[in-house]
Chain A
Amino acid sequence: MFQTPEFQDNNHADELPVVSKILCAIAVGILSLGLIVVLMVTDNPPSSLPALVQGQLTQSGVQNPVTAVLLNFRSYDTLLEIAVLLIVAVAMLPNSQDSRLVSVVTNAQVNPVLEAVLRWLIPMIIVMAGYLLWTGASLPGGAFQSGALLASAGVLVQLSGRLQFCFTSTIAKLLLTIGLITFMIVGVGVATTTGVILQYPTQLAAPLILLIESAATLSIAAILLLLYNSLATQTVDISSASAKQPSTSNKSPAPNETLQSTTGEPAS
């Protein structure tokens, strides 16, 4: 089921035999049918939580109930969720030592039409992202949507080939973690007045939530852009490295492999 990852699309050798496919389909079908039947026979009693959220909405500092849940009632979940993004960002951080966040590619071959379109599109997306962030308090929108929009603007810029992003500088790392840093500082800071971590004072809730959201937007946008960046530039990375060295395995040697090559085979 989860054997060696396969990269060939039309390789029939590694496909499951038809019999197992049919068996698998039957098993999955029975499972799904069972779940559907269970869902059909049990009714969906209205939960008391939505009413509770509505009741406390005035205390939360925002009018959009989803934002209230995300950044006030269940803000701990959101904090951990940004940490999930940070994990992937750290795992995919490129190896390069480039100290600049944005560098201009001078000899880029940019399609003039594309560039003209982007010149209009990018500012619009950025304004749109700011709007989503601002209205997230009362209308649909918020940090995640806004961050994703900003990231897609970054992806477009990168696609045009004029600018390159690199996330290894200290400034970039600050950008990746600013959401978590702000969240933590606010979360612990409010505890000095209210006594409970992450409990905002009611009068200050609105500006504090906006502060956290703005920082989170920056982090989310940076991390999502980093994810795209790492995936898109991986090929260039490896192929330029292997141009110098014929064996790619030397590029990132495990300690044991290096040892083996320097000290030779042990007693056999």
Chain B
Amino acid sequence: MDAFLTVDTLLPMLVGLPLLAAILTTLLKSYGLRTSISIAVALIQLVIVVALLSWLSNSGPSLDTQHQRYSLGGWGAPLGIDLTIDGFSALMLALTATLTLVLTIYSGYYFSEPHSQLDKTARFWPLWWLLIMGINGLFLSGDIFNIYVTLEIIGLAAVALVALDGSRAALTAALRYLLVGLLGSLCYLLAVALLYRTYGTLDLAQLSAIAEPTAITWAALALITTGLLLKTALVPLHFWLPLAHGSAPAPVSAILSALVVKTTLYLLARFWLDALEPAATDYGLLMLGMLGAAAIFWGSIQALRAKRLKLMVAYSTVAQLGYLFLLFPLFLSTGDTRDAGLSGSAVSAVAYFIVAHACAKAAMFLAAGNIMRTVGHDEIDQLPGLAKYMPLSLFTFAIAGASLIGLPPSAGFISKWLLLNVAIDTGQWWWVVIILSGGLMAAMYVFRVLNIAFISVDEKVQTEPKSSINEQLTVNKLPTLMPLCAFLLAILTIILGFNAELILDLVTIGGDV
């Protein structure tokens, strides 16, 4: 038993546990039982990840390769499939576990309302846990074909969750998301075929050791990039995202924006900066950065023009994704870590940005979901004076918005600060301009909502003393925990702002092996 219960065993447990939860929630009929199992599993998952993190940080940066791997079936890399972990993926796993716990509790309340149909919850929990399994599996996977399977799991589960709503708009968004997702995975699979044909291995680490800058590696990298950009929704391939994220149930929107789009970004970083690094030209890295800059502007403009609150938050995701792509050109000039895996100042900055954005965006979607649940719609223009009736949700929205803008002391501020530092250090001042103006535009769309919700309350109330929002609020009272979950995530962005070193230290672990 001693050999069985080593720390490595925690890695497959992160995949097995959600799968177990998915099976149990499929089989059980009672709603309460499904929810309590889900919350219990989410808690255990968080404990596992915390144990993993403490093990990783105790081992320090000198961790050797053997201990970062778990060979499923005991066959070892080229023949079998290995699970691997390094600082970056450990951080992503921790983020996943934290968000899963909060969103699971929130979903327990979100789907318990009398007007949400029972059969919807029967679908929601299995799909939810299969999605989490896919995300964990992707972050842990060290095998390019296995990554394809996890991509399909994430894609199909996400589509099914978007379609859960059952309205025509949601189904249409889901169908389009599915077609885009299938096209993306096919491009990826074609690249896998090319890589295996040339290098004869499916293992990421072995691939990065033997990859050469030949035509076929180029073609594979181009295909991978196209496929994953489609799934990450980088401008100009973002067309499917706003509707899909905007018409899903609130906890689903939250996890889609916070985690699902980041999984493909994580893969892009893996392939460009690590596995196929020899084929990654400066020109290509620069182009990814420029697309990112375009995304910041286009997403922000669309967010400013959006009429619905959830649509606005979804477009804000398009914009914020742009920042993450600045990783590629910034990594280019840091130079110091070109053959040291995923680490370095640019990677740290972007990893921190991912965490900050995930918390803020999840909080924002949950707040928007609360508003939609209470008021019955989310037309921005028709929310005047809402702050008086839903102070906590609006406060959550404001804090999360502050983080998106990059106001101190939020995590968003630190993440932008880190990005700016790298940009200045490497002498790429033009990115500084883009980062700062992106923050300005974020301020504009966040304040537009807050302005309507907070400031115009006096005028409106004076002219229409009997506000119809008031009536609705008495009809649809939210369970207290729903706004609290959102608030917790918003507070988390502030806490992270004060504890940036924790995250930055983690990313460096195991990077230089």
Contacts and interface: CB of A to CB of B under 8 A. Distances in A.
Interface string A160-192: 000000000010011011001100100110011
B181 to A, nearest CB: 11
Interface stretch (B160-168, B431-439, B487-495): B160-168
Contacts of B471: 263
A85 to B, nearest CB: 10
B14 to A, nearest CB: 12
Nearest to A4: B172
A255 B467 contact: no
A262 B475 CA distance: 10
5 contacts: A48-B200, A93-B123, A200-B73, A266-B468, A267-B464
Interface stretch (B21-29, B275-283, B316-324): B21-29
Interface in A31-49: 34-35, 38-39, 41-42, 44-49
B27 A173 contact: yes
B126 A90 contact: yes
A254 B75 contact: no
Interface stretch (A8-16, A76-84, A144-152): A76-84
Interface string B184-220: 0000000000101110110000000000001110110
A67 interface: no
A99 B464 CA distance: 54
B343 to A, nearest CB: 27
Which secondary structure characterizes the binding site on chain A?
helix
A184 B19 contact: yes
B134 to A, nearest CB: 8
B479 to A, nearest CB: 14
Interface in A67-93: 72-77, 80-81, 83-84, 86-88, 90-91, 93
Given A35-B219, A266-B376, A77 B146 contact: yes
Contact of A83 (B19, B79, B376): B19
Interface stretch (B49-57, B98-106, B110-118, B502-510): B110-118
Contacts of B179: 2
Interface of B: 1, 3-4, 9, 12, 16, 19-20, 22-23, 26-27, 29, 71-75, 78-81, 113, 115-117, 119, 122-123, 126-127, 130, 133, 137, 145-146, 149-150, 152-153, 156-157, 159-160, 163, 165-168, 170, 172, 175-176, 179-180, 194, 196-198, 200-201, 214-216, 218-219, 239-240, 372-373, 375-378, 382, 384, 460, 464, 467-469, 471-472, 475-476
Contacts of B123: 90-91, 93
A95 B1 CA distance: 45
B219 A264 contact: no
A194 B3 CA distance: 9
Nearest first, the 9 closest Cβ-Cβ pairs linking A and B are: A47-B200, A252-B166, A91-B160, A259-B376, A199-B74, A195-B3, A196-B74, A198-B73, A267-B468
B23 A181 contact: yes
A268 interface: yes
Contacts of B194: 38-39
Nearest to B239: A2
A52 B201 CA distance: 12
A237 interface: no
A77 B152 CA distance: 12
Given A76-B72, A254-B167, A83 B130 contact: yes
Interface-central residue, B145, B201, B468, by most chain A CB under 10 Å: B468
A75 B74 CA distance: 11
Contact of B149 (A56, A77, A252): A77
A196 B5 CA distance: 10
Given A177-B23, A180-B19, 13 more contacts: A45-B200, A76-B81, A77-B146, A86-B22, A86-B130, A87-B130, A87-B160, A90-B26, A91-B163, A197-B16, A266-B375, A266-B469, A267-B464
B117 A49 contact: no
A52 B78 contact: yes
Interface in A41-66: 41-42, 44-49, 52-53, 56
A107 interface: no
Nearest to A34: B219
Contacts of B159: 91
Contacts of B133: 83
A175 to B, nearest CB: 11
A248 to B, nearest CB: 9
Contacts of B19: 83, 180, 184
Nearest to B127: A90
A174 B239 contact: no
Interface string A196-240: 111110000000000000000000000000000000000000000
Contacts of A1: 239
B4 A191 contact: yes
B382 A249 contact: no
A258 interface: yes
A77 B23 contact: no
A2 B178 CA distance: 10
B4 A267 contact: no
Given A195-B3, A255-B115, A87 B127 contact: yes
A77 B375 CA distance: 45
A176 to B, nearest CB: 7
B467 to A, nearest CB: 6
Contact of A264 (B150, B460, B468): B468
A115 interface: no
Contact of A87 (B74, B153, B197, B215): B153
